[in-house]
Amino acid sequence: MKLNHDLSKKHSIHFFFKLLLVLLLINILINIAMSNITRNFIKNQNIVHLRSSIEIYADSVNEKLHSVERFMYSTITHNESLEKLNHVQTFLEYQENLKKVQTSFTEFEYQNETHMTFLLETDSTDHFINVSNLYIPYEDYLLLKSNLKSLRSDISDRKWKNVTTKNSEYLVKSVHYEGKIIYAVISSEDILKPLNKLNIGNNGKLSLKEPNNIPSANYLIHAQNEKTHLPFDIYVLVDYAEVFRNITLLEVFLSAVPIIITILSIIIILYIRQWMIKPITRLTERLSQLGDSIPPSEFFISEGILEIDKANDKLNKVIFDMQELKIREYHSQLELKKIELNYLKNQIRPHFYLNMLSMIHSMLQTKNYKEIEELTILTSNYLRHLFMANQDFSELKDEVQHIKDYLEIQRIRYGNSIYFSLDYNSELQNTLVPSLLLQTFIENTIKHGFSFQDLFTILLSIKKVKTENSDYIQICIEDNGPGFSEEILSKLNQKQSLITEDGHHIGITNTIERLNLLYPNDYSIAFENNEEGGAKILLLIPYKIIDGGYNEHLIS
């Protein structure tokens, strides 16, 4: 409250300048705090993303390693060609069986898309036989021989083992069976290759061993084999300085933007104060001194600003035109009140109420208590809708029910001489239409078309139509009465008033005036006579439904 009171006082430009600097400082501090919060949030989210990616990768690798193990066990126990290689045979037989074994491993490698090197050792040979594509450099292959020979003697553990050469790391799996050994070898680079797509920075590193001398700006993610169920640990070193370099530059830019905007704002404020606010203030002071007895032109002097000088020249004309504008506004208000009065007159309908009372009185004399009860309820519903229809729009379901109540009253009054047919989709029941619009047309149709001689038919259809720009509601009312006269039809289609001096023909004219106010240049209405007889009214209004407060916020 105190701040609002201080700001409401008049202050110099120096006060607002100091206030602007304080707001700038607060803004800078908030930007720095938000930048740190955002940076930490993004960092944590990136870590979560990396951990999730590693878990997904681990599941995939586990499946591939298990597939390799199953293949190795199946081959070493059931492959006949491999069994023959373990026995003495001719050179041609040896080559033929070796080729079959190599074909088996090559097909497995192609189907599973692995970069796995498979080596074979039997009792009949004292060296390793390559039975697949060789993905190991020959230098590393020679260094691996000694490690593989140690695995041949160690049959207690058949898990995947981590073997290191001078330049690379390898995973090795051996399977022993009846003098035969199959080795599966894959480099850590190949097995970690899917993780290369992760954004860990240029200096980031993927490894199966924990890296040494980790920089303080980097972050190490350790995926332990107890959680991943892999035969090895995974270490992901993230270079956050590189990963967030673009974000840091963006933060610096965003922090500089408020400062630049503030400096430019101060310059613009000073310029506007000198060359716009002061001349306008002087002009306002002179305008406040204008009197009816003093010509306005005596108060206007040149300010040296083209726009203000033009404004001075136009002010005289504006002042002289104000009286004429007031007169026009007065007439517009009179016209609006006239329309509102006609609308109220159309609502009141004293003759309808008098007819209802007369009918009830007649029924009392004949002791038709059941019809009196029915008529009383219908009349109550009818009047309740009239009294509640004080908004511009009502829901279509309420308007339709109001028509049904009105027609039930007419049925009690005239008997079964009126047939009413309604065709509309229940999905449109929440559509908004002008209040009492349909009832006005139906009442006018009965008033000018009903006759006791023939069954009077009223057809009402309501549907939703689409145009290029938006959706509309099409309302069609038809009857089998005498139709419109040529004079009335001509006036209706030209939207001329039908109201006579004695107040007749208010309904349709008032309805057209309401449509002009509610849908300016966005509706259409046509009146015509059917070839086989009877009148027809075709109305097209925008499709609207309730959004928020009733009749206050609409969407179309």
Rounded to 5 degrees, what angle do the CA atoms 231, 233, 235 make? 150
- Is the model's pLDDT at 88 over the cut of 70? no
- Is the model's pLDDT at 341 over the cut of 60? no
**Which residues, in sequence order, are bridge partners of residue 173?**
184
Q: What is the pLDDT of residues 198-249, one digit of tens each?
A: 777 777 888 888 888 877 777 888 888 888 888 888 888 888 777 777 766 7
- Is the model's pLDDT at 456 over the cut of 80? yes
What's the CA gap between 337 and 550, in Å, rounded? 24
Residue range 315-333: average pLDDT? 67
Q: What is the pLDDT of residues 483-534, one digit of tens each?
A: 888 888 888 888 777 776 655 666 777 788 888 888 888 899 899 998 888 8
The residues near 142 (Cβ < 8 Å, ≥ 6 apart) are: none
- Is the model's pLDDT at 177 over the cut of 90? no
pLDDT band at 473 (very low <50, low <70, confident <90, very high): very high
Return mean pLDDT, the chain: 77
Closest CA to 104 of 76, 62, 128, 141: 76
**Which H/E stretch holds residue 33?**
helix 13-78
Q: Tell how strand 180-187 and strand 205-207 pair up.
A: unpaired
Q: Which amino acid, 548? A: G
- Is the model's pLDDT at 358 over the cut of 80? no
Q: Are residues 179 and 83 in contact, defined by beta-carbon separation less than 8 angstroms?
A: no
374-391 per-residue burial string, b: 16 or more CB within 10 A, e: under 16:
bbeebbebbeebbeebee
Tell me what pLDDT residue 234 has: 85
Q: Which of these CATH numbers, 3.40.720.10, 3.30.565.10, 3.40.1010.20, 3.40.50.300, describes 347-540?
A: 3.30.565.10
Q: What is the DSSP letter of 205?
A: E
- Is the model's pLDDT at 311 over the cut of 80? no
pLDDT band at 462 (very low <50, low <70, confident <90, very high): very high
Tell me what pLDDT residue 556 has: 45
| CA 206 to each of CA 86, 193, 217, 230: distance values in angstroms, whole numbers, following the listed order | 40, 9, 17, 15
Cβ neighbourhood burial of 213 (10 Å; 0-12, 13-18, 19+): exposed
Tell me what pLDDT residue 1 has: 47
DSSP 3-state of 482? coil
Tell me what pLDDT residue 553 has: 36
Closest CA to 195 of 206, 208, 210: 206
The conformational region for residue 304 under phi > 0 = left, psi -120 to 50 = alpha, else beta, is left
pLDDT over 90, % of the chain: 6
**What are the DSSP E strand ranges found in 435-534?**
456-466, 471-479, 524-529
Give me the CATH topology for the region 11-239: Beta-Lactamase (3.30.450)
Q: What is the pLDDT of residues 95-121, one digit of tens each?
A: 888 888 888 888 888 888 778 888 888
Q: Considering only 1-10, 44-53, 141-150, which range has the smallest mean pLDDT?
A: 1-10
